[in-house]
């Protein structure tokens, strides 16, 4: 079994599966990093104690999607020829996942796709992930779907039901694995007043660059100024298109804490202690219900509608008025807030990795 990934979200979602595979007799698991991310990925590797067999070390400063894509295809082919896997596993919708899948297809190695079937049906939202995952679907031999909605999407695109395994999302497994490993406190939050209600923010999507982010940041500024009992925690993405605008609009606003990017464990810590989450991150949409925190999704469309349908998340887009209005409702109405607290996580029950192992026994027998 060859598992390849290159970003933090992939590592988080593969961590519980890698652990299960290495604890289960009959499976040999070879882990390859592409290095699409570096330090953010390394944090997760250390936190979950993932043993890495090889690292392609592709990352360089200011790398383009074209650079990452080309280098992965060239270098990963050598890994396939060396390892000679029975099955290759990719996760999600990154450049790494797509290019590894293409390389495996060229080598005629069967491909398993973890978190298959997510769709917005808009090729540019999110960009480039929507097209990445659709292309992987047409390359993959086995599709591990996280939900009935994702399963229906795959069937709609012509994937045989016999090739789909509906297992839930391993991100919920990862949260359960992480809980006992998270420390009691982290110094990065020392300036935050936890006597106030905490709003946790992430905003970095390419499709929001420019006016979208400007509306988000002005909305956050308005929320903080209206509510004197909140602190806003925003780990700012390093991309200058995000960080420059964030510091210009929010840098001098009282009770707004613009921080370095958080580690995965710090992110878990603050999600557990915050009052409300506003995010454009797919992973945080999935993780938040495990911490029983309402989510306002700072995107116009989402490929993860399960939270919306369950009532634990609300799509507010990048419009300043909509963001402020939705946040005010949850901050002013205890009834509205309680309605959005998840009783169970609609994305999974923490047993996805076990189901995948069971399915793999059938596939590889």
Contacts of 151 (CB under 8 A, 6+ apart): 117, 145, 164, 166
Q: What angle do CA 252, 214, 331 make, to 5 degrees?
A: 70
In contact, 130 and 124? CB cutoff 8 Å = yes
Q: Return d(Cα 278, Cα 297) in angstroms, integer.
A: 6
Catalytic site residues?
93, 115, 129, 204, 206, 237
> Vertex 40, ends 46 and 214: CA angle to 5°?
155
| Residue 264, SS3 per DSSP | helix
Other beta carbons within 10 angstroms of residue 39's beta carbon come to 10
DSSP output for 32-47: EE--SS-HHHHHHHHH
Q: Which single residue is written with the structure tokens 């398993």?
A: 112
* C-alpha closest to that of 202 among 274, 102, 107: 274
Report the residue count for the chain: 365
Instruction: State the CB neighbour count (10 A cutoff) for residue 185.
Output: 9
């Amino acid at each position: 079994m060859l598992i390849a990934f290159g970003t933090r979200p992939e590592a988080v979602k593969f961590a519980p599966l890698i652990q299960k595979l290495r604890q289960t007799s009959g499976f040999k698991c070879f882990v390859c990093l592409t290095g699409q991310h570096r330090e953010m990925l390394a944090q997760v590797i250390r936190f979950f104690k993932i043993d890495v067999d090889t690292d392609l070390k592709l990352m360089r400063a200011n790398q383009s999607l074209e650079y990452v894509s080309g280098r992965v295809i060239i270098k990963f082919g050598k890994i396939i020829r060396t390892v000679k896997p029975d099955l290759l596993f990719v996760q999600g919708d990154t450049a790494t996942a797509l290019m590894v899948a293409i390389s495996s297809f060229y080598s005629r190695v069967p491909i398993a796709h973890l978190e298959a079937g997510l769709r917005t049906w808009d090729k540019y939202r999110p960009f480039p992930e929507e097209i990445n995952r659709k292309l992987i679907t047409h390359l993959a031999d086995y599709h591990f779907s996280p939900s009935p909605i994702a399963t229906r999407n795959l069937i709609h695109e012509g994937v045989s039901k016999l090739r789909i395994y509906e297992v839930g999302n391993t991100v919920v497994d990862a949260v359960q694995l992480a809980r006992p490993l998270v420390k009691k406190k982290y110094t990065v939050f020392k300036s935050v007043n936890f006597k106030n209600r905490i709003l946790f923010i992430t905003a970095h999507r390419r499709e929001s660059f420019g006016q979208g982010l400007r509306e988000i940041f002005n909305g956050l500024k308005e929320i903080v100024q209206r509510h004197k009992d909140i602190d806003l925690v925003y780990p700012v993405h390093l991309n200058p298109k995000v960080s420059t605008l964030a510091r210009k609009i929010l840098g001098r606003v009282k009770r707004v804490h613009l921080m370095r990017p958080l580690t995965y464990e710090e992110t878990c810590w603050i999600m557990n202690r915050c009052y409300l989450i506003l995010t454009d991150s797919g992973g945080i949409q999935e993780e938040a219900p495990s911490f029983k925190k309402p989510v306002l999704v700072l995107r116009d469309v989402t490929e993860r509608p399960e939270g919306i349908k369950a009532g634990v998340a609300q799509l507010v887009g990048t419009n300043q008025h909509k963001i402020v209005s939705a946040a005010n409702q949850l901050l002013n109405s205890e009834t509205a807030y309680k309605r959005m607290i998840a009783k169970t996580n609609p994305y999974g029950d923490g047993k996805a990795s076990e189901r995948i192992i069971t399915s793999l026994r059938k596939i590889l027998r």
